[in-house]
Each structure stands twice: as structure tokens, then as C-alpha cells.
Structure 1
């Protein structure tokens, strides 16, 4: 059966390739700076897994910090785009995060997963695989949609139930329906602590430079959380 997430991001691959660096201020001035701030400035001698690498922005940024990077994504076309961007500076594979990962135990020092896990129904298997391939005391850093954003932006009859959310994305050259899964904050925390010890939970705020060209979005993000970031350590 075709995977709907893979199909969606196959269609988005071209616009990601052309516009991923600057298409969304929510990425460029909000989520990415906050995520990168939680990682060491120098990642030499670190093996890093970019889980849900999309068009390769994080993979490239991690390579620039000295890491040996492996990127995985469920979309074959996104994988092609990421390979073109990285130009053999990282290993990029097509992989479903809901299936067993093709890596050895204790292979990675860090796993970074940016705005990806909310496409997955059940985190337990995925997190068990993350824990398996991470070295002892390895780092998991992930971002997802903030439950507050989902509650206020979309019809939600029961905050405490996991639910499928349909959103319309208007990107350059394409308008497309995207579906993901909303879950309450307590579930995000509970699923994480089954395998990891949480070090930080961050509700980021945007860079001040964002207000120069995106004042309304900047004003909104200064008062309303849109994404949430969790940094955790493998328990093994």
C-alpha cells in the first residue's frame, strides 16, 4: 500500500529543492536556529543520523560542523534532492522510520529529527530503534508541532486523543494537503521517557531579524508556541 506521507513529500520535493533554505520563515528564523543552538558547535568524530532529512538542510549544516552524517527519508524524490545537495558529503538513504533501521547497534552519537515524528502514528517502535542505534548516553534531538498550535489552529474535540490533522500548505509552485498526527504534550513526554532521559524541553522564540520581513509572524511566534523541541539522552 502506498505511503501517503511518502507520496506527499515526493510531490513537494521540487519546491523543497528550490526553496528549502528561505521558503518558510518558521524554519529559517525559528525552528532551525533553536535546534542548532542545542547541538555542539563542533561535531568532529561524531556520527550523526538525520532522521527525516527531506531536502538535506540539516545534513549539510551538520557536515559543516564536522560530523559524519547519514540522512534518511521516506520519500525517494526527497532522497534524490538531498543527494544532489550533499554531493557525496553524506550518506543519504530511503528509509521508513516505522520500520527497522539498517544500522548496527551503537552506531551513532547523535540523532537529529526535525519536524518529522508527527507523521508517525506510534513512536514506541521508532524510539526503540533510535535507542538501539545510538551509543550509550547518545543524544536524541527532535522537533514536532506544538500541541498548543494544533489545538488553536485546527478543530479539536478532544485534546487528549491522538488525532489526524489535515493542513493545506501553500508553497511556491504547489498547494497541497498534508496530513500529520496531533498528540497531547503528556504523550510526547511519556513516549520519549520510555527510552530516553529528557535533558531539555524548548519552546523556541524567533530570531529578531525575522520581524524585518515577517513582522506579523514574528509577533505571533513571540507570544504563541508553534513547535516544541526535545533534547534527550539514551538511557542505556
Structure 2
């Protein structure tokens, strides 16, 4: 049982490639929110093995990426090739990018691994151009109360037990209520442009649609703006 992605990077990559939550829900929703990215300099923060970076590059973005897992970054390098700027870095620490480096930062399913968001949000705002966007997704704040009956209003550790390519793992995350997320965004100086709870993609195979419904509680998405 582990929350270290280095322990199961290849298995996670295989699972992520075609499952419901990543391939037919989170990535399509994030790409819809990103819109036209042609020519935009985008940082894929917590890029994992690189599937979102591939989609952004195919849409004309200039992409850099980092992840805290060396094994994940190795997989991303194999997928993206030597010309894409990738590195190992920790979102909880200062990032190896200059001020005002990116038009957009996309942080897919990353922040819920951190208990303290203040330092990470400050760093992401630092490397964004004035007027740039931070697009992010995290576990929906109702996931923990619905799945465990735990309290909603506090910030608390939330271990998620999952089966990835037949392997039982525990992902250590933090539950954060919506008001605490909004407070953190405001304290970091961001403006909230959009909050989304989208359905799964229209082209999702019917056999993957859970209980015949295309809307369910899983992730919540935000579009934040760095003021000019």
C-alpha cells in the first residue's frame, strides 16, 4: 500500500490511458476549459506520464511540464520526446521557472495531495504572466463525506484506496471544503472566472457510463485569473 507514484508508475500510466475518470472525464473537461491554446505557453503542473501534455501540443500549445515522481517524468519523456521541457520538481517547493513564464498553468488532480495550498498557489501565480490563467481540478469536496460519512467543513487527511491495473494502492489526499478552496484562491490573489462540474465526454462508450448517468460527483474544476 503506497501513495508514492514511483512504486506503480507504469501501472498508473496504463490505467490512466483509457479509464472513465481520466480519459473520458477529467482530460476532456480540462481541454474544454482551456479552449484555443494555439501558441500559448502552458505549464503542465504535475504532468504525470504526459497524456494531457500530448493533447495540448496537438492543439498548438508550447508545453513544459514537471512532476514530483521521477518515474512518471521518465514515462513522459518517452511519450513526448526530447524537445519538450520536462523536469522533476515538487509543487510544495519553489519551482525552477522564472517569473511571468507562462500564459497558462494547468494543474490536473494535483492540489488535493497538498494540505497547505498557500505556497503552491503563490508559486503558480509567480510564474504566470499578468492576465494568465490557472486551470485546476481537484477531488470534489463532497467525495469524502459521501464515501466515508466524514465531516465536510474541516480540512482533513483523506486516504483513497484504489485498484490500479490490479494492484491495491492507497493515495494520500486532503479533503478541503469548497469555502476553504475559495478562501485559498482569494488569499493567493487569484480571481475566480469559472467553477465547473461537467458531465463525462459525449463520446464515452456506453459500457463505461456508470448506472447510465453522465453526471456524478467526482472532481471539481476551476479557472482562475492572475490579475493584470
TM range (shorter): over 0.9
Give yes or no for contact 1:63–1:89 (8 Å, CA) kept in 2.
no
Secondary structure at the aligned position of 1:10 is classed as helix
Cα deviation, 1:8-56, whole Å, max 9, x if unaligned, reads 211121113334220x201122111111001133421x21100010110
Between the aligned partners of 1:193 and 1:76, the Cα distance in structure 2 is 32
Give yes or no for contact 2:46–2:68 (8 Å, CA) kept in 1.
yes
Q: Say whether residues 1:66 and 2:60 are aligned partners.
A: yes
Secondary structure at the aligned position of 1:84 is classed as helix
Secondary structure at the aligned position of 2:8 is classed as helix
Once the two structures are TM-superposed, the CA of residue 81 in structure 1 deviates from its matched residue by: 0.7
Q: Say whether residues 1:163 and 2:150 are aligned partners.
A: no
Cα deviation, 1:96-133, whole Å, max 9, x if unaligned, reads 00000111110000000101100011111111111110
Between the aligned partners of 2:63 and 2:196, the Cα distance in structure 1 is 24
Between the aligned partners of 1:89 and 1:18, the Cα distance in structure 2 is 23
Give structure 1 regions of 4+ aligned residues with deviation exceeding 6 angstroms: none
Equivalent residues, number: 226
Aligned position for 1:43: 38
Q: Say whether residues 1:206 and 2:193 are aligned partners.
A: no
Between the aligned partners of 1:174 and 1:25, the Cα distance in structure 2 is 18
Aligned position for 1:191: 184
Secondary structure at the aligned position of 2:217 is classed as coil
Gap runs ≥5 in structure 2: none
Between the aligned partners of 1:14 and 1:215, the Cα distance in structure 2 is 25
Once the two structures are TM-superposed, the CA of residue 89 in structure 1 deviates from its matched residue by: 4.1
Q: Normalising by structure 2, report the TM-score.
A: 0.93
Between the aligned partners of 2:49 and 2:166, the Cα distance in structure 1 is 16
Measured at CA, do residues 19 and 87 of structure 1 come closer, stay the same or move farther in structure 2, by a change above 3 Å?
Answer: farther
Aligned position for 2:21: 26
Cα deviation, 1:168-209, whole Å, max 9, x if unaligned, reads 111114211111000000011111122211110001111244
Aligned position for 2:224: 232
Between the aligned partners of 1:112 and 1:58, the Cα distance in structure 2 is 9
Measured at CA, do residues 85 and 113 of structure 1 come closer, stay the same or move farther in structure 2, by a change above 3 Å?
Answer: same
Q: CA RMSD in A?
A: 1.6
Measured at CA, do residues 142 and 217 of structure 1 come closer, stay the same or move farther in structure 2, by a change above 3 Å?
Answer: farther
Between the aligned partners of 2:93 and 2:63, the Cα distance in structure 1 is 20
